[in-house]
Every structure is written in structure tokens, then in C-alpha cells.
A and B are shown apart, each in its own frame.
Chain A
Amino acid sequence: DSGVTQTPKHLITATGQRVTLRCSPRSGDLSVYWYQQSLDQGLQFLIQYYNGEERAKGNILERFSAQQFPDLHSELNLSSLELGDSALYFCASTVREDSYNSPLHFGNGTRLTVT
């Protein structure tokens, strides 16, 4: 058990809809990372927050947004969903602002299916 909790585990929704994915980081971790995993693209970094502030952006679409709350949990909002957004979305946390020397602790992911 990594200590990172993601909810829900599965989400099925229709095109055009909006969903929110939730992540509770490991106790004591201040950084939260969001990744998208798909068969064709592999693991793609989306966005990172550290202690409530956005720190880095990766391949995140404008239709997607995220935030980290004072209690350090994070939410990833996906809107105007398209079939291609179907993927496994992972949250990972680490204690430091950067991850270059400290391992990421991953949640079990949320599997999003857009129909």
C-alpha cells in the first residue's frame, strides 16, 4: 500500500461530460503529480502541485484543470470529454518539491471510460 488514495476507481461517462478525479497524497507528502496512462501514449505527465501551488505543467489539455487544497488533497477536472480521453489517470506524491532524487508514490489510479 503506497498510502496514496484515488477515487473513484472506475468512471464511465459520455462524451461532452465533465468529471472530477480525487487524490489524497501519502501522509507528509506535499507534492502531487498527475499522470495519464494510455496504450498509445504511455505514461504522460500532466501537472504537479506543491503545497497548494502549481509547480509544473506537462502535456495537459486546456480542457483539463487541477488544484490542490489546503489539506493537500488534489482534484483533476476533465471537461468536454472526448473518446480519446479514456485512460488510466494516476496520482503520485512525494515529500519534496522536485522528484529528481525522491521516488514517487503512486495511487492505484482511476480508470476513465468515455463512451
Chain B
Amino acid sequence: AQSVTQLGSHVSVSEGALVLLRCNYSSSVPPYLFWYVQYPNQGLQLLLKYTTGATLVKGINGFEAEFKKSETSFHLTKPSAHMSDAAEYFCAVSYSGGGADGLTFGKGTHLIIQP
């Protein structure tokens, strides 16, 4: 069975500082990995995804994530935080052949941006 662990339910950074949100996955087969963002009172929207190929994936709003198989990680980063980045971030995993049961989401990390 696949699972996702997001380290830190809350992360606080200063505006302009590096953002690092951690995600580790467990999957017995090559995974497909996603980061979604949820702004207040809204649904989730896709930030970026890793399927195959290049392990460094660039997404929207300046975010990127690197798939590290040896570490079973898919951490999300952004070089310089902006106030508008304050939101809930979810890491999710699925895999080919895993059936039509949707994604397995982590518990989420609430990103707080300090002025």
C-alpha cells in the first residue's frame, strides 16, 4: 500500500526566505508524485507533478520539487517566499496500475509567511 508523510503540520518562514516543505512516500512500485495547494475556502489545485523523466520538476508560482528515489522523498521548495504563498500544501502519491482509487494524500502542511 502506498502512503505519504508530510513532516511538519505547520511551517513558518519570513517573506523572502526559502520555503521547504517535506514529503516522504512509501510505494512498492515507481510512484507518481504530486503537490497540491489549497487556499482558504477553495479546493485543491495542482502545483506540480512527477511522473517519469527529469527528477527536478518545476511548477506554478515559482515552486519546484525534486524526486529522490534513494531517499523516497519529494520535497517542495521555493527560493523566495511571498505573502501570497500562505496556504495549505498537500503531497500526494499514486502509481500506474494502482487502480482507479484516486490519490493518497498526506495530512497537509500549513505554510505561514511572516512579514
Give the interface of A toward B (CB within 8 A): 2, 4, 31, 33, 35, 42-43, 45, 48, 50, 55-58, 90, 92, 97-101, 103-104, 106-109
Bound complex: CA A4 to CA B101 (Å)? 19
Number of inter-chain CB pairs below 8 Å: 67
Interface of chain B, main secondary structure: loop
Contact, CB under 8 Å: B45 / A56: no
Known pairs A56-B101, A108-B43; A101 contacts B96 (CB<8 A): yes
Known pairs A42-B106, A42-B108, A43-B105; A97 contacts B44 (CB<8 A): no
- Partner of B45 from A2, A35, A57, A58 at Cβ < 8 Å: A2
- Partner of A56 from B32, B42, B100 at Cβ < 8 Å: B100
Bound complex: CA A91 to CA B109 (Å)? 21
Residues from chain A with a CB closer than 8 A to the CB of B34 are 103
Which residue in chain A gives the minimum CB-CB distance to B98? Answer: A100
